[in-house]
Amino acid sequence: MHETTTLLIEVGALLFLLGLLGRLSRRIGLSPIPLYLLAGLAFGHGGLLPLNASEEFFAVGAEIGVILLLVMLGLEYSAGELVGNLRAAAPAGLIDGLLNALPGAAFAMLLGWGWVAALVLAGITWVSSSGVIAKVLGDLGRLGNRETPVVLSVLVIEDLAMAFYLPLVTAVLAGTGLLGGGIALAVAVGTVLLVLMVAIRYGNVISTAMSAKDPEALLLGVLGATLLIAGLAAKLQVSAAVGAFLVGIAISGPVAHHATQLLTPLRDLFAAVFFVFFGLVTDPRDIPPVLLPALALAVVTMATKTLTGYLAARRAGIAEPGRWRAGLALVPRGEFSIVIAGLAVAAGSVEPELAALATAYVLITVVTGPMLARMPDFDWFKGWLRRRAAIQRAQPAPVPD
């Protein structure tokens, strides 16, 4: 009974604090994500007032938060739009991998950590945070923007790539060899293809099975199906985020519209829990020794990720402001980066400094990313774009040979 009472007090106090921080952030025109992370750092391991009783609650809530963020993104698009976007964004996905994985791998080799650590750090710097980016796009009201499908396509390609990357890196860290890695990869590929086929071919049947006229049944049905598919995907070593997203695109029509309205408050609650938990499990004392290397790596890969989004949006015919919005929106890294670092540390086959470096790196990108994403909305940035466009128009056209 005493443990339950302590849990209620800790969770209630922290959620109340998050409400105040969220209100403060909106008054000053800032995304609440950095404030949620700082709150987690203050009350986590090594913080000012550690909250021990509620850590398990926030761990489960964080998982649900990521899943809800992704299913809400999926509800915004149909299966046909997804396939079209994936085909169009395939070259951007290749550029994304080259520009953002190679700096991490090169950094590990420069530090003398070996090829296994290079493989791990490549994944950490490669994948953007779907959870953070989904929240930022929602906060900034950009879910309906022309460049958002481009951002979404890059994120989906990264999440699908993680469905293949995670089994391989797990096998490498465990030392099971090529056979074990091949089996894990085959299971991952089969699961992703199966779920995608069901989502595309039988999405109408799934939507028909749910009624938009009964809010309670619809909420329970959509939430239950999302958690079930995400859990099964994770059980089969496939990204739970991919499973949740595919559930979202499988639901269409009025059902998708009403499900979005019902799930929005839950998404906001558990998304805040996710960002707080990220801070709770980070010990601030481990960050200073690796802060400068993490900062250098963050600066390089924030630039390469911005270039990735810019090029992808330009290829899709998006205007200059949208290109910058797409590029800067992709900056934050998050849940996958921490998962990859956790696998490496648990295996004990890489340098222990890698965990602290990954944590500092993610914190830098996840705090600065939402701030950078707002930059294209500032008047000075719009003025710079207008001057840049005027200079380009004033340049003489190239003379044909």
184 assigned to some structural domain: yes
**In this predicted model, what pLDDT tens digit does every residue of 74-114 receive, in sequence order?**
787 666 666 666 676 678 788 898 999 999 999 999 988 88
Q: Which amino acid is at 14?
A: L
CATH number of the domain within which 78 lies: 1.20.1530.20
Report how far residue 327's alpha carbon sits from residue 325's, in angstroms, rounded to the nearest whole number.
6
Chain centre to alpha carbon of residue 296: 21
* pLDDT for the residue 401: 52
Written as six digits, the tokens of 290 are 């690796």
The helix (H) or strand (E) run that includes residue 360 is: helix 353-373
Domain assignment present for 234? yes
**pLDDT score, position 172:** 76
Structural domain that includes position 235: 60-274+285-378
Domains identified in the chain, total number: 1
End-to-end CA distance of the chain: 85
Residue 41 falls within a domain, yes or no? no
Residue 5 inside a domain? The answer is no
Closest CA to 124 of 312, 320, 313, 297: 297
pLDDT at 399: 58
Residue 383 lies in a domain: no
| 266 vs 215: CA distance, rounded Å | 14
CA–centroid distance for 84 within its chain = 21
Give start and end residues of each alpha helix (H) in 202-252: 203-208, 215-235, 240-250
Nearest CA among 368, 331, 362, 382 for reference residue 151 = 331
Q: Which amino acid is at 111?
A: L
Residues 112, 223: Cα–Cα separation, whole Å: 46
> Is 31 part of a structural domain of the chain?
no
Question: Are 305 and 327 a contacting pair, CB within 8 Å?
Answer: yes
- 8 is a domain residue: no
User: Residue 168: what pLDDT?
Assistant: 74
Residue-by-residue pLDDT tens, the chain, 401 positions: 567 888 888 888 888 988 998 888 777 766 677 788 788 888 877 667 777 767 778 888 888 887 887 788 778 766 666 666 667 667 878 889 899 999 999 999 998 888 888 989 999 999 998 778 887 888 888 888 888 888 888 887 887 777 677 767 777 777 665 566 667 667 666 766 776 677 667 766 766 777 777 888 888 888 898 899 888 877 766 667 777 877 887 787 778 888 888 888 888 888 888 878 877 777 778 788 889 999 999 999 999 999 999 999 998 889 889 999 999 999 998 777 877 887 777 777 677 788 788 888 988 998 888 889 999 988 899 888 888 878 877 776 555 55
- What global pTM score does this model have? 0.72
Identify the pLDDT of residue 80.
64
The predicted pLDDT at position 31 comes to 67
Retrieve residue 354's tokens. Answer: 């890698």
Sequence-ordered alpha helix ranges (H) in 209-319: 215-235, 240-250, 253-280, 291-315
Measured from the Cβ of residue 2, the count of other Cβ atoms closer than 10 Å reads: 7
Residue 305 phi/psi, 5-degree rounding, is -70, -40
CA–CA distance, 22 with 15 (Å, rounded to integer): 10
Helix, strand or coil, per DSSP, at residue 175: coil
- For 332, the 3-state DSSP assignment is coil
In a domain, 45, yes or no: no
- C-alpha torsion angle, residues 27, 32, 35, 39 (rounded to 10): 120
* Cα gap 110→10, rounded to integer Å: 44
> What are the distances in angstroms from CA 401 to CA 201, 250, 342, 393, 398?
52, 52, 57, 21, 9
Q: What is the pLDDT of residue 307?
A: 95
Annotate 139-173 with b (16+ C-beta within 10 A) or e (fewer).
bbebeebebbbbbbbbbbbbbbbbbbbbbbbbbbb
Give the closest residue to 210 by CA, choosing from 170, 250, 172: 250
